[in-house]
């Protein structure tokens, strides 16, 4: 049996990456609208994903008329800048495909500055396809904002579909919040990250036809060197026209634990769906627990169901706060954030706040500086202490001495076991919990969110 050669053309939307000159000229409403909008130089209009459905619009026509500072790369060019998609440049993998780090030389293309980039390659056997790749090109190619990741260019050559983004030095929020690279994120840093992400969603929702992000989660929030946050991965995003199409919303897409209940049950997709997802991530920021943790008991497995009832009780809030913060946060800020999360997670979409309200609520929290310094530690002086200090520390020294004697009476085998356990006990850097330390190293930009 002869094997069939796989091609995106067999499964993707009916658009071509290259103009077909042999095609007969036909009247197409979507193409006519595209040409009409391209002539309106005074007011820039958006082209929507729905304009590509059942049309003969060429991606080249779209790129030449509407994309903002987007470069078209060849597959060989991207292969070169990633050193042949080397495993040493591998950054990670998602539903879309593998991501590699590369470096653009300013001599590669006119108007292209030298910079590190992230190259994302669509895998043909993956769960996402050409429609998701196209969504990223159409949305990020037209919409620019400080809190949306910058799309530098794309490759649409034969069966290859790749995207080239700006490189974000600190990875994504999930790595810092749950894997705790370098220690726990300080409280004010968490607020800054969520505020930036909220501004990104607010910008999308304020479009003439709101863009519904549909996949808001920590792994899609990228961080720069100063912890400024940017939304990435727009493969599941959709504009208002598609969201209102019942056929489009028939299948629920997204990540378990983050989707709004009305979207799961009835396929109702609105901007309030993004607000619910934001509430889940805000709750994760407060607790440092994932939206779904299947190893926990049935009652505590779903974070929203377990934690939301406690968000209204001031006496219970501190019990669910991330213990790695060790009390170093503004209690007033915690209460305000908990109240906001409770509203965002309402079962009724009409009871949830808009993202504009969310931004206005988070901004004052960033200014609250009533942050505890953590537990007081008193070090007993051992040499050169004056008489007053000796008197104050007399009892403490006796306690230490008694503890030492107890250690000496422990069976040597048990003592060796204790030393072994102590040896493998993970050590944490105290500096990572201090907002002041980060402030000194990063300057005022740490607390000054990007406009």
Binding residues: 120
Beta strands in 285-358 (DSSP E): none
Q: Quick check: 97 and 120 in contact, CB under 8 A?
A: yes
User: Residue positions in the annotated binding site for ATP?
Assistant: 120
- Residue reference for tokens 């034969």: 158
Q: Pick from 232, 238, 239: which is nearest to 209 by CA?
A: 239
Q: Pick from 166, 120, 171, 188: which is nearest to 368 by CA?
A: 188
Q: How big is the CA angle at 248 (ends 247 and 250), to the nearest 5 degrees?
A: 65
Q: Which residues of 166-198 are buried (b: 16+ CB within 10 A; e: fewer)?
A: bbbebbbbbbbbeeeeeebbbbbbbbbbbbbbb
Q: 177: helix, coil or strand?
A: helix
C-alpha pair distances (Å), 376 with each of 84, 332, 372: 54, 21, 10
Between the two ends of the chain, the Cα-to-Cα distance in Å is 60
* Residue from 51, 215, 226, 322 carrying the catalytic annotation: 215
Q: Quick check: 260 and 214 in contact, CB under 8 A?
A: no
Report how far residue 324's alpha carbon sits from residue 183's, in angstroms, rounded to the nearest whole number. Answer: 9
Q: 17: helix, coil or strand?
A: coil
* Whether 105 is catalytic: no
Own/partner contacts of 75-80, CB < 8 Å, gap of 24 or more, are 75/155, 75/157, 75/158, 75/160, 75/162, 77/108, 77/155, 78/102, 78/119, 78/155, 78/162, 78/164
- DSSP string covering 208-269, please? SSPEE-----GGGEEE-TT--EEE---TT-EEHHHHT-TTGGGS--S-TTTS-HHHHHH---
Beta strands in 232-361 (DSSP E): 238-239
> Active-site positions?
215
């Amino acid at each position: 049996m002869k094997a069939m050669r796989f091609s995106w053309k067999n499964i993707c939307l009916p658009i071509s990456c290259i103009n077909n000159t042999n095609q007969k000229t036909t009247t197409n409403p979507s193409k006519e609208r595209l040409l009409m909008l391209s002539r309106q130089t005074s007011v820039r209009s958006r082209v929507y994903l729905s304009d590509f459905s059942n049309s003969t619009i060429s991606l080249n026509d779209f790129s030449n008329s509407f994309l903002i500072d987007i470069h078209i790369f060849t597959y060989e060019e991207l292969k070169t800048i990633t050193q042949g998609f080397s495993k040493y440049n591998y950054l990670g993998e998602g539903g879309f495909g593998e991501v590699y780090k590369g470096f653009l030389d300013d001599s590669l293309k006119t108007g292209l500055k030298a910079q590190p980039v992230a190259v994302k390659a669509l895998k043909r056997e993956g769960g996402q396809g050409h429609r998701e790749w196209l969504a990223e090109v159409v949305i990020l190619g037209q919409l620019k904002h400080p809190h949306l990741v910058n799309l530098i260019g794309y490759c649409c050559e034969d069966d290859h579909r790749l995207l080239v983004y700006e490189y974000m030095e600190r990875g994504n929020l999930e790595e810092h919040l749950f894997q705790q690279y370098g220690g726990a994120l300080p409280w004010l840093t968490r607020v800054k990250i969520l505020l930036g992400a909220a501004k990104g969603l607010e910008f999308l929702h304020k479009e003439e036809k709101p863009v519904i992000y549909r996949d808001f989660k920590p792994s899609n929030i990228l961080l720069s060197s100063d912890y400024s946050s940017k939304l990435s991965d727009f493969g599941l995003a959709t504009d208002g026209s598609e969201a209102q199409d019942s056929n489009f919303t028939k299948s629920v897409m997204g990540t378990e634990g983050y989707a709004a209940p009305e979207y799961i049950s009835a396929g109702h997709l609105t901007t309030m769906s993004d607000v619910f997802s934001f509430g889940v991530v805000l709750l994760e920021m407060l607790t440092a627990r994932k939206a779904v943790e299947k190893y926990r008991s049935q009652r505590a497995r779903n974070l929203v169901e377990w934690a939301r009832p406690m968000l209204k009780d001031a006496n219970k809030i501190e019990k669910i706060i991330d213990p790695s913060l060790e009390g170093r946060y503004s209690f007033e800020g915690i209460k305000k954030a908990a109240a906001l999360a409770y509203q965002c997670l309402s079962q009724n979409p009409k009871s949830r706040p808009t993202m504009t309200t969310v931004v206005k609520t988070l901004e004052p929290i960033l200014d609250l500086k009533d942050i505890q310094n953590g537990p007081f530690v008193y070090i007993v002086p051992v040499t050169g202490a004056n008489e007053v200090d000796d008197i104050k520390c007399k009892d403490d020294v006796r306690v230490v001495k008694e503890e030492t004697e107890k250690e000496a009476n422990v069976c040597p085998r048990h003592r060796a076991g204790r030393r072994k356990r102590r040896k493998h006990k993970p050590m944490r850097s105290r500096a990572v919990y201090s907002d002041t330390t980060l402030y000194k190293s990063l300057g005022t930009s740490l607390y000054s969110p990007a406009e």
